[in-house]
Amino acid sequence: MNLRPDSPRLRRPLALLGLAAAILGVTLGTAAPAQAVGPGEVTVTVAGDPSRVDVADTAAPTTLAVSGSGFQAIEGGFGGIYVVFGWNAGPGWEPSAGGASGTSYRYVADDPNAPAGYQLFVPFAGSSTEGGANAASLNADGTWSAQLTIAGPVFTPVDAVDTGETIDCLVVQCGIMTFGAHGVVNPANETFTPITFEDFSAPTPTPEPEPVVEEPAETPLATAVPAENASADGSTDATPWIVAGVIAAVLIGGVVTLVVVRRRRAKDDK
């Protein structure tokens, strides 16, 4: 007996199969652990002095508190990340871009017989290489933290191309680099954080106080003298008053004369 796809006998089994597949998909999806997949970010401060960011001392070794976030964590994976201080040739220095130690980047290597903390190995949790690490394992959320020591601004790298060349980080830009450890190339874990050098023993310059602007003192109001009555030396000019007096005298004299004339005419008429 042949059944069509829309046959009622097939609808219920197909529905149950779809439901089972959905449940299985949800179960598998939630079972996989969440992992950060870069790009990573690195924060650098002086150990014990978080106010000093991305700096190191020119005159003495500096212990830095270094932490990362957003790195790709591969639980049980081979290797992890290297954290080093050194120089690189700029964009394209990364191993994932074809860069190589000794040519596109150079760093301060640590002495395995007497390690001073110049180079860190942050392993993947559960990795077979955890035994050789000198820092805590990378967390599942892609974070890590450790301390790295910078001996000073001048170093002689010891790497695949040992030329004895001295690198002066007061002349060229150096910084903290991270990249895949044990030859594992992983662009998500490649970062560069520039570091500048300061003389920590030098006194911190005290900012000069801003000049205080004093408000001008209020002066008592003086009796105003009309501009037309003031002379160039500030004294009162009496000329207008003299002129006014003369005019008044003339008017008064005219009035008196007019009165006398009228009286005489009145006597003559009588």
* pLDDT one-digit tens code per residue, 79-119: 999 999 999 999 999 999 999 998 999 999 898 888 999 99
- CB-CB neighbours of 216 under 10 Å: 5
Q: What is the pLDDT of residues 115-157, one digit of tens each?
A: 999 999 999 999 999 999 999 999 999 999 999 999 999 999 8
Whole-structure pTM value: 0.63
Structural domain for 252, as ranges: 233-265
Assign 172 a pLDDT band (cuts: 50, 70, 90): very high
* 68-77, 158-167, 201-210, 229-238: range with lowest mean pLDDT: 229-238
* Overall average pLDDT of the 153-172 stretch: 86
- Asked if 142 and 76 sit in the same domain, the reply is yes
Which is more confident, 15 or 185? 185
**Predicted confidence (pLDDT) at residue 184 exceeds the cutoff of 50:** yes
Q: Are residues 102 and 152 in the same domain?
A: yes
The answer to whether residue 217 sits within a structural domain is no
Statement to judge: residues 252 and 192 lie in one domain = no
Does residue 84 share a domain with residue 164? yes
Would you say residue 132 lies in a domain? yes
What value does the mean pLDDT take over residues 59-77?
96
29, pLDDT greater than 70: no
* One domain for residues 185 and 239: no
pLDDT in tens, 203-215: 866 677 777 777 7
Domain finish residue from 174, 198, 222: 198
Are residues 243 and 129 located together in one domain of the fold?
no
Residue 112 pLDDT:
82
Highest mean pLDDT range out of 158-162, 163-167, 265-269?
Answer: 163-167
Same domain, yes or no: 114 and 247: no
8 is a domain residue: no
Percent of the chain with pLDDT over 70: 63
The residue from 151, 172, 198 where one domain ends is 198
Report if residue 94 sits inside a domain.
Answer: yes
The pair of structure tokens assigned to 105 is: 């980047």
Please indicate, yes or no, if residue 5 is contained in any of the structural domains. no
pLDDT for 167 beyond 90: yes
CA–CA separation, 99 and 95 (whole Å): 4
User: Which pLDDT score is estimated for 8?
Assistant: 46
Question: Do 143 and 60 reside in the same domain of the chain?
Answer: yes
Task: Tell me, yes or no, whether 150 and 247 share the same domain.
Answer: no
Residues 132 and 258 in one domain: no
91 domain-assigned: yes
As a whole number, the mean pLDDT across the chain is 78
Looking up tokens 């408000």 gives 215
- What average pLDDT does this structure show over 203-228? 66
**Same domain assignment for residues 257 and 131:** no
Residue 220 inside a domain? The answer is no
**Residue 19 confidence class, pLDDT cut points 50, 70, 90:** very low
Residues 149 and 237 in one domain: no
- Are the CB atoms for 145 and 104 separated by under 8 Å? no
In this prediction, residue 18 carries a pLDDT of 42
Q: How many domains does the chain divide into?
A: 2
Structural domain includes residue 242 = yes
- Here the CATH number for the domain that contains residue 72 is 2.60.40.230
Task: Report how far Cα 112 is from the mean position of its chain's Cα atoms.
Answer: 37
Residue 233 has pLDDT above 80, yes or no: no
Residue 198 — pLDDT band, cuts 50, 70, 90?
A: very high
Q: How far is CA 38 from CA 73, 189, 261, 269, in A?
A: 9, 6, 122, 132
Q: What is the mean pLDDT of residues 225-239?
A: 52
DSSP character string of the chain: ----TT-HHHHHHHHHHHHHHHHHHHHHHHHSPP------EEEEEETTEEEEESEEESSS-EEEEEEEESPPP-TT-S-EEEEEEEEE-STT-SGGGT--BTTTEEE----TTS--SSEEEEEBTT-TTGGG-SSPPBPTTS-EEEEEEE--SEE---SSS-----EETTTS-EEEEEEESTT---GGG-EEEEEEEE-TTSPPPPPPPPPP-PPPPPPPPPPP--GGGB-TTSPBP-HHHHHHHHHHHHHHHHHHHHHHHHHHHHHHH-
